[in-house]
Amino acid sequence: MNKYSDKIKSVLTDLGLSLLSIIVALIVGTLFIYLTDKSPLDAYSALYIGAFGSFRAIVNTLWRSTPLILTGLAVALPFRAGLFNIGAEGQLLMGGFTAGIVGFYFTSLPTIIHLPFAIIAGMFVAGLWGGLPGVLKAKLDVHEVIATIMLNYIAMALTINYGINLFKETGRPATPRIMKSAAMFNFNNMNKYPFLKDLPLSDLFSQPAIRLHLNFFLAVIAAVILWYLLFKTTLGYELRAVGFNPDGAEYGGIKASKSIITVMFISGAVAGLAGVGEVLGTHFSFMQGMDAGYGFTGIAVALIGQTHPIGVILGGLLFGALAQGGLEMQFSGIPSEIVMLIQALVIFFVAALQVFKVYLAKRKAKGGVE
Amino acid sequence: METLTKIFSLSLILASFRFATPLILAALGGIFSERSGVVNIALEGMMLFGAFAAVYGSASTGNPWIGVLYSMIAGLSFAAILALVCVTFKANQIVVATGINIFASGITIFLLQVLFGVKGTSPMVNRLPAFRIFDVRFNPITYIALILVPVAWFILFKTHWGLRIRSVGEHPAAADTLGINVNKLRFISVLISGVLAGLAGAHLSIGDGSAFVREMSAGRGFIALAAMIFGKWHPFGAFGAAMLFGFAEAVAVRVDFAFIPSELISAIPYVLTLVVLAGFFGKSTPPAASGEPYYKGEK
């Protein structure tokens, strides 16, 4: 009984700290809006309307949150094992690039084979890209932060600079368009399918500029799988034990090195799925700029979600809403970079408030002894 | 053969100095910070903000030297945030530095619009005077960077103060028992790294060029981090690495290879750093307490 009430208390504390960071970030954000001679109230109402003001806005908020949920998960999972994955950006690029190549290279596969093949290939390559720093950490004691930073830039050179240049003849900074058979299902096309068109919302989904596609659901499924893995399996228990106390875990018979490599591979694959979805669902080719810093925003998403998979979904939705609403703000003459500033502020405040939480816990512990 | 002569032409080697300048400065900054026990992956953001501030200073006063001053203040201000949140309040250094990098991208583009009314590139401003050696422009910041290498070495390895910085990065608790103020030294070291990274930014915007372009640091803060590691956290080592990476950049810009695509040459610093970290060229070990906040009264 007591155990449950403690658990609820800790979840509420986490939720409270996250909400507090967001509110403080929005308040500090008003200072920047003042610099533009616009009213913060107008700016934030534009932000809100842009993100939630209509059916289309809400659906596109879900669309924008998709890669953020995935990169957020890719940061959150290793965080639980005491590892900091700054490499989601590079993993996303490797996954997206691979999916883009598989997507256009095979010309005569049916969707049922082509699409899963492209998704799995992208996730696998991204998994290897994430697993490499895991191996370096586990076997050679190379710090994963530095390794993943370096791999980000190597991935950029390989995919954006070198990879795209291989296809100069397309005339745009992108790989050739993927085949229809590799494209993810888009909700805008509901009306074209015999059963789906009879579903209640199909008319609403058919209005122009609806961008939501299959990958949002894959992202939610990924979050649920990772939640299960983290809290209901032995592997998850080991991961959390390693994160809590690596030496203690080793002493208790857990092979930390194996856990590190596994978690980094999974994390890379999940970040890769973000890139896969952008290529197969949003842009239909791997293009320059498609990563849009999702790998780094993912860090903010993971933190605001308190590195809990379900929290990460909520964090991803929040940042997706900021991104979608930021467009509307841009239309009313306020630079959408305000959104980036708010994201950065959220990171500062979550980090700072986390310290507050540790301080409270310490004081409580001390109080118990004295 | 022709390619070889091109690679080792004098002008190319001189150009390497130009490309290496921001790497040398930021890497020296990184050394101060990490030697004192604070990982600084925000060099990138500090450099970017410094580059912007330099252009703003030059634009608003017409004097590029004021721009240099502004760039150092800009780097210092971001460093103060990092130091306050991470050293004083003991927050996660990587998290906060990531926040600073995102903030730097956002604030520079935002201020471009607010202060200059443009989105991508600032108006042209007065740049620092240049001294030509053969056909390569050298701006004063390159000379400053070259002078600062032995200065940093002297401070860190030949003065009491430098010894203290290194001691709080290796064993803060031991330093503390000897009466050294761990957090104060770390705070100052982080501030030094910010000033140097900001100055590196000024080199990019008003030394090498004469305008600010969005995201113009383009990963150089991280290459500087790589140079620091490659140089084993030592000023002369980092200088050598920065020169090597600067040379690679100069080669990638100027020479066409038939066998290695020039797009991949840009990745050489990163690959080399991984190879070095993996221990293929002898072990490269960071200061022992790097990244760990120091709590007084704990082991």
Confidence of residue B211 (pLDDT cuts 50, 70, 90): very high
What's the start-to-end Cα distance of chain B, in Å?
Answer: 60
Distance from CA of A327 to the nearest CA of B (A): 14
Taking contacts as CB-CB distances below 8 angstroms, the residues of chain B near A351 are 85, 91-92, 95-96, 99
Taking contacts as CB-CB distances below 8 angstroms, the residues of chain B near A300 are 99, 102
DSSP β-bridge partners for residue A186: A213
Taking contacts as CB-CB distances below 8 angstroms, the residues of chain B near A150 are 222, 226, 270-271, 273-274
Query: In sequence order, what DSSP letters do the residues of A23-91 get, joined into one string?
Result: HHHHHHHHHHHHHTTS-HHHHHHHHHHHHHSSHHHHHHHHHHHHHHHHHHHHHHHHHHTT----THHHH
Asked whether the beta carbons of residue A348 and residue B85 sit closer than 8 angstroms, the reply is yes
Mean of pLDDT values over B59-63: 94
pLDDT of residue A369: 43
What's the start-to-end Cα distance of chain A, in Å?
Answer: 27
Q: Is B284 a domain residue?
A: no
Backbone angles phi, psi at B140, to 5 degrees: -55, -30
Taking contacts as CB-CB distances below 8 angstroms, the residues of chain B near A147 are 274, 277
Mean of pLDDT values over B268-272: 85
Nearest residue to B79 via CA among B23, B35, B32? B32
Residues A335/A36, Cβ–Cβ less than 8 Å: yes
Q: In chain B, how many domains are there?
A: 1
Q: Is B135 a domain residue?
A: no
Please state, in angstroms and rounded to a whole number, the distance separating the CA atoms of residues A219 and A274.
8
Please state, in angstroms and rounded to a whole number, the distance separating the CA atoms of residues A45 and A53.
10
Residues B245/B20, Cβ–Cβ less than 8 Å: yes
Q: Which residue in the set A36, A147, A151 is minimally distant from B114, CB to CB?
A: A36
User: Which residue of B103, B183, B284 is the best one to mutate when testing the A interface, meaning the one whose CB has the most A CBs within 10 A?
Assistant: B103
Q: Is B191 a domain residue?
A: yes
Q: Which carries the bigger pLDDT value, residue B69 or residue B15?
A: B69
**Taking 70 as the threshold, does the pLDDT of residue B117 lie above it?**
yes
Query: In the A/B pair of chains, how many CB contacts fall below 8 A?
Result: 131
Asked whether the beta carbons of residue A151 and residue B263 sit closer than 8 angstroms, the reply is no
Q: What does the mean pLDDT of chain B come to?
A: 88
Query: In sequence order, what DSSP letters do the residues of B8-35 get, joined into one string?
Result: T-HHHHHHHHHHHHHHHHHHHHHHHHHH
Please state, in angstroms and rounded to a whole number, the distance separating the CA atoms of residues B155 and B153.
6
Nearest residue to A174 via CA among A183, A182, A163, A185? A163
Distance from CA of A337 to the nearest CA of B (A): 5
Mean of pLDDT values over B264-279: 83
**Domain range holding B253?**
2-121+140-277
Backbone angles phi, psi at B137, to 5 degrees: -75, 130
Q: Mean pLDDT check: name the lowest of A313-317, B172-176, B193-197, B285-289.
A: B285-289
Residue with tokens 């700054």: A86
Asked if the C-beta of B109 comes within 8 angstroms of chain A's C-beta atoms, the answer is: yes
pLDDT of residue A282: 94
As given in the structure block, the two tokens for residue A328 are: 């509307």
Residues B175/B168, Cβ–Cβ less than 8 Å: yes
Mean of pLDDT values over B5-27: 84
Single-letter residue type at A91: Q
Taking contacts as CB-CB distances below 8 angstroms, the residues of chain A near B222 are 149-150, 153
pLDDT of residue B5: 65
Q: Is B289 a domain residue?
A: no
Asked if the C-beta of B81 comes within 8 angstroms of chain A's C-beta atoms, the answer is: yes
pLDDT of residue A30: 92
**Taking 90 as the threshold, does the pLDDT of residue B158 lie above it?**
yes
Length of chain B: 299
Q: Is B237 a domain residue?
A: yes
Please state, in angstroms and rounded to a whole number, the distance separating the CA atoms of residues B232 and B238.
7
Q: What is the CATH number of the domain that holds B46?
A: 1.10.3470
ipTM for this prediction: 0.85
Those residues with Cβ within 8 angstroms of residue B116's Cβ, 6 or more apart along the chain or in another chain: B59, B122, B123
pLDDT of residue B119: 85
Cα nearest neighbour of B221 on chain A: A149
Asked whether the beta carbons of residue B264 and residue A158 sit closer than 8 angstroms, the reply is yes
Q: Is B282 a domain residue?
A: no
Q: Tell which B residues from 241 to 280 touch A, by Cβ distance under 8 Å.
A: 261, 263-264, 266-267, 270-271, 273-274, 277-279
A238: enclosing H helix or E strand: helix A234-244
Going from the C-alpha of B228 to that of each of A301, B24, B232, B244, B271, the distances in angstroms are 30, 9, 6, 12, 14
**Taking 80 as the threshold, does the pLDDT of residue B230 lie above it?**
yes
**Taking 50 as the threshold, does the pLDDT of residue B299 lie above it?**
no
Q: Which residue in the set A35, A150, A340 is minimally distant from B106, CB to CB?
A: A340
- Domains defined for chain A, CATH in brackets: 13-369 (1.10.3470)
Asked if the C-beta of B102 comes within 8 angstroms of chain A's C-beta atoms, the answer is: yes
Going from the C-alpha of A323 to that of each of A53, A90, A309, the distances in angstroms are 14, 21, 21
Q: Which carries the bigger pLDDT value, residue B274 or residue B150?
A: B150
pLDDT of residue B266: 79
**Taking 50 as the threshold, does the pLDDT of residue B200 lie above it?**
yes
Q: Mean pLDDT, consecutive 10-residue segments, chain A of 370 residues?
A: 73 84 91 88 92 93 97 95 92 97 92 95 98 93 88 93 82 87 88 79 82 95 96 90 81 84 96 97 91 88 91 95 90 86 88 75 59
pLDDT of residue B94: 86
Asked if the C-beta of B91 comes within 8 angstroms of chain A's C-beta atoms, the answer is: yes
Q: Is B105 a domain residue?
A: yes
User: Which residue of B274, B275, B295 is the best one to mutate when testing the A interface, meaning the one whose CB has the most A CBs within 10 A?
Assistant: B274
Taking contacts as CB-CB distances below 8 angstroms, the residues of chain A near B226 are 150
As given in the structure block, the two tokens for residue A140 are: 């050679």
Q: Which residue in the set B94, B264, B278 is minimally distant from A136, CB to CB?
A: B278
Please state, in angstroms and rounded to a whole number, the distance separating the CA atoms of residues A244 and A28.
34
Q: Mean pLDDT check: name the lowest of A207-216, A361-370, B4-13, B224-233.
A: A361-370
Q: Which residue in the set B89, B92, B266 is minimally distant from A161, CB to CB?
A: B266
pLDDT digits (tens, 9 = 90+) for B163-173: 999 999 999 98
A305: helix, strand or coil: coil
Asked whether the beta carbons of residue A165 and residue B92 sit closer than 8 angstroms, the reply is no
Q: Is B242 a domain residue?
A: yes
Residues B196/B75, Cβ–Cβ less than 8 Å: yes
Residues A209/A64, Cβ–Cβ less than 8 Å: no
Print the SS3 string covering B74-140. HHHHHHHHHHHHHHHCCCCHHHHHHHHHHHHHHHHHHHHHHHHCCCCECCCCCCCCCEEECCEEECH
Helices B220-230 and B268-277 pack at an angle, to 10 degrees, of 40
B37-53 in b/e form (b: 16+ CB < 10 A) is bbbbbbbbbbbbbbbbb
pLDDT digits (tens, 9 = 90+) for B29-58: 999 999 999 999 999 999 999 999 999 999
Q: Which residue in the set B99, B113, B219 is minimally distant from A348, CB to CB?
A: B99
Taking contacts as CB-CB distances below 8 angstroms, the residues of chain B near A348 are 81, 85, 96, 99, 103
Distance from CA of B98 to the nearest CA of A (A): 7
